[in-house]
Structure 1
Amino acid sequence: MQKPSTCARPPWPQLLGCALAVTLTACGGGGGGGSAGTSAPASATTLSGTAVDGYLQGARVLLDVNGNGLADAGEPTATTDANGRYRLDYSTLSSPIAGMRVVVTGGVDTDTGNAFTGMLTARADGAQAGQLVSPLTSLVDALVAEGFSLDAARLKVASALGLSVADLATDPVAALASQPVLYTRQVALQRAVQLLASAEQGSDTAYVAQEKVLRKLAIVIVAQSSPATVGELVARANLSQASAGRDLADAVEDALNEALRSQGGRASAKASLKAMDQIRVEMESSRDYSLGRAATRLDERNGGSAYSGLAGSVGKAEAINTFTRRAGTATTVSQPASTAGRLLASNCFQCHGTGGVGGFDRIRGSDAAEVRDYLRKPARSDIMAAHAQGYTSAQLDAIIAYLKQ
C-alpha cells in the first residue's frame, strides 16, 4: 500500500488521534458513563484536555516543542488532576502549536491505583480544548510516523478495530455505560504494548521500547483489511512475544467485559483490571511471558485460584467476585423490611446469587409465587423442582414472602 504524502514525516511518532470538535466531557475519578462536568474553556494560549487509560492523576503533560521527547527548558508542562484533566499554558511560545506533540507520563491510574509506567501521546490541533490523550491516540500517532496524514491514520485505526473515527475522539471512561468496547479495547491495547515493550526493551528506555512496539503495530494496521480485536492485531506484529501479547490483551478484554456485565459493574472491572496488571507485571519481572504460569505463581503466593480463573476461561466469574471482595467494593445488599424467610431462601441464593457480591437483590421483587408451580413437577425433572420439594408448604410461603418484598 502506498503511503499518503499529505504530511511530512514527523520527527517522533506521536500525534493526537482524537482532534475533538467539541469540548471533552469528564466524569468523576473513573466513574461510569455520562457527563459529570465539562473542561473549562481554553484561553487563546491554553491547551486543555484529558489523559486517560483510566483517568491519570498526577501525570506530567508535556508540550514537546522541539520533538525530542524530553522536557526541555521553556517547554510547557502541566500536571493532571484526579479526572485526568490538564491545562497547558503556552503563552511563552511564539510559534503555532498545531502539530506539536503532547506527551503524558507518570502519575497514577485512578482505575487501579497503580503507578502509570506507560506513555501516552497525541498531537495538538486547532481546537485547543478537549485534547484527548489515550492509548488509541498513541496508536494513531504511530501511523503518522509511518507517513500517513492525521485523517488517514485515524481512519485506518478506527477501521482496524471496528470503531468509528468519532469513537477515537471519545473519552472511553465517560462513555463506559454506552460504549464499553472503547474502554476495554484501549486498556487491553495499553497493557499489551507495555508487556511487549518489556520483552523488546534491551538497552532502550521503556518509552523508546513502547514507541517501537507501536510502530510494529502500525505496520499491521496498514495491512489490515477487516475489523479485528486488539489481540488479533498484536498477534500479527513482528515481535518476539506477540503470542503472549495477544493472550494478555484477550484476557483483559474478556475479564473486563464479564466484570462490567456482573452486578459489581464498574467496581468489579476496576478490581479485575488491577489483578490483570499484577499478572502482567509478574510476566515482565520474571521474563517468563506465559500468562498461565504467571497467574499460577501469583495464586501460589496468595492462596486460592483467583488469578488463574481470571486469566483462563474457567472460573472467571468467581475470580472476578474474589477480586471485587478483596478490593472492598462488593455491592452491599439492601435488606427488606422483614427478614423472616431469608435463611430458608439462602438455598435460592446458591443458584441465583453472585458468589457473595450482590445476591438476593437479583431475584427479589418478582412473582416468587411461581416456586409453588414446581411442586407439581417430578423432582428429577428440574433443579427447581428438586429444591422446592425439599421444603414444607409453610417454609415455601416464608421464602415467597421474603423474595416478594
Structure 2
Amino acid sequence: MAKTHFQDDFLPSCFIILIFLQLLPAVIHGNGNTSFEVIGPDDAILAMLGEDTELSCHLSPSISAKDMELRWYRDNFSDAVFVYEKGEDVYEEQMEEYQGRTTFVRDYITKGKAAVRIHNVTVFDNGTYRCYFKGGTYNREATLQLKVAGQGLPPRVRLRGDKDESVQAECTSAGWYPQPQVEWRDFRGNTIASVTNLSVSATSGLFAVVSSVVVKHRATEGLSCSIANPLLPEIKVTASHLPAFFSGRSWPTVWRISLPLILVALGVVVAGAICVFWKKKRDIEEEQQDSSDNGGQGKRDICAVYTCVLMYVHACEHVCTCACVHACVSVSVFPCVPECRNALLYANESQPHPCENQALAALRDLSSFFFIF
C-alpha cells in the first residue's frame, strides 16, 4: 500500500515540473533574458548588380524582437551595415558606403523576423555578413553569404592580322562579376583552345575580358565566342563572326582563285568571236559565187549562234558557281548556306569540289563547238 501511495504522489509531481519547464522561457522573457537562436538563410543570397537585395534573419522560437538590439555587420562589430535598437534606427555606427542605401524591414519583427534591404548592389557588397540579435544580456548571431553577379556587355568578335594563312580572332567584353568563363567554338560546334586575359577596374571592381584564338582563314566563318557568368551558368552571351560577303580582306583571295577561270572563259569567248567573224567573212565571199544557198546558210548561222549563246550561258553558270564555292572555302562566307557548308567539308577533307569538273567540262564543250563550227 505504501508503494502505491508513493506512485500516486510521484505522477502529479512530474506533471507539475513539466508545466514549469514549459513556462520558464516566458518567465525569463519578462526579465529580458530569453534564450533563442538566430537563423539565417540556408543558401547564399544571389544579388544582381545594380538591383536590391535583402539580408533576412529570424529567431527560434518566434518571439518578438521589437525591444531587442539588432545589428548587421561585416568584419568588425563596430563597422555596422545597419543597427536597430529598441524601436529606432541607429546610424552613428553605420559604414559610409551603406549610408543612404539601406532600409530596415520590420513588418514581422513581433514574430522574430527582420531584414535589411540593400539598394543598388555593387561588387563591393559581395561577401560575408552577420546578423546579431541581443535581448537583455543574452545574444546570438547568424552568418549570411551574399554573392553578387554582374552580367557584362555583349561580346564583340574582330579579326586581327593575316599571316601564313592564319587569322587571329579577338573577343572583347566588359562589366562582368565575378570572373567570367570564355569559350570559343568553330562552325562545327567544336571547342577551340584560346588565350584569355582578364583585367579588373579599380573603381567598379568589374572584369573586362580579352580572349583570342588563332585559326585558319577558312575557319573564321561560323566562329563564335561565348561568355558566361559562373553564378548564372544557364545564361550565355554569344557573338559570332559573320563577315560581309567579299570584304576588303577577301578580294585578293577571291581574285587569285577566280581570275584563271574568268580568263579561260574570256579566252573561249574571244576565240569563238574570231571564228564567227572569220566564217561570216567567208560566207560573204561565197555569197557572190552561189546566191541560191545564201538563205539556208543564214539559217544555219542563226542556229549556230543561238546554240553558241546557250552553251556560253551554261559555261558561265558553272564558272560562277565554282568561283562562289571557292570563295566560301577561302574567305569563309555564309556557312549557313548549304553549298558553302558542303564546300567547307570538301576542303577540310582535301577533296576537289564537283563544281570544278563541271565548269571545266562546260568550257571544254563550248571550245569544241567553236572550233567545229
Work out whether the TM-score is over 0.5. Answer: no
TM-score scaled by structure 2?
0.23
- TM-score when normalising by structure 1: 0.22
Question: Would you tell me which structure has more strand in proportion to its own residues?
Answer: 2
Higher relative contact order (CA 8 A, sep 6+): 1
Larger gyration radius, structure 1 or structure 2: 2
